[in-house]
């Protein structure tokens, strides 16, 4: 893939999902890992700092579709921090939470596949 195609596909990803997937060796060292395996997110609960890279790794041999949504203190759902990312088998991607709060990561394909991410300052 040449540089122009790379930039074009990154811009397309940004337009679709509101973020640019990042995958560098350096980030692997500092990312918090959430694994998708056997139709479960592991760990079920995770605390991260705001702005800290969270890497989602799909170890299942099939797709997941992840949405990360803020859970409001009084109940209900707030803003969507990660919109319906297609997690291809054997791939990973990174996202960040920009605002403190409690978030739910949910697979839109597999009912009951959820985990909690708490973002602190």
**Which residues of the shown chain bind Cu ion in the complex (CB under 5 A)?**
64, 107, 109-110, 113
CB of 55 to Cu ion, least distance (A): 17
CB of 45 to Cu ion, least distance (A): 18
Nearer to Cu ion, 49 or 83 (CB): 83
What's the full length of the chain, in residues? 121
Nearer to Cu ion, 67 or 110 (CB): 110
CB of 36 to Cu ion, least distance (A): 7
Q: Could you give the C-alpha distances from 12 to 15, 21, 28, 78, in angstroms and in order? A: 5, 11, 24, 25
Nearer to Cu ion, 48 or 105 (CB): 105
Nearer to Cu ion, 52 or 65 (CB): 65
Angle in degrees, CA 41, 45, 50, rounded to 5? 105
Tokens (6 digits) for 102: 């409690």
Q: Could you give the C-alpha distances from 8 to 14, 15, 17, 22, in angstroms and in order? A: 10, 10, 14, 14
CB of 51 to Cu ion, least distance (A): 26
């Amino acid at each position: 893939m040449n540089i122009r195609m790379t930039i074009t596909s990154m811009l397309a990803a940004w337009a679709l999902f509101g973020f640019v997937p990042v995958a560098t060796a350096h980030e692997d060292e500092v990312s918090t890992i959430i694994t998708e395996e056997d139709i479960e997110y592991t760990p079920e609960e995770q605390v991260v700092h705001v702005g800290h890279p969270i890497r989602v790794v799909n170890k299942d041999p099939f797709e997941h579709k992840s949405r990360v949504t803020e859970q409001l203190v009084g109940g209900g759902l707030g803003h969507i921090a990660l919109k319906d990312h297609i997690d291809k088998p054997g791939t990973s991607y990174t996202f960040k939470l920009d605002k403190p709060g409690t978030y739910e990561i949910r697979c839109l394909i597999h009912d009951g596949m959820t985990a909690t991410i708490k973002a602190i300052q």
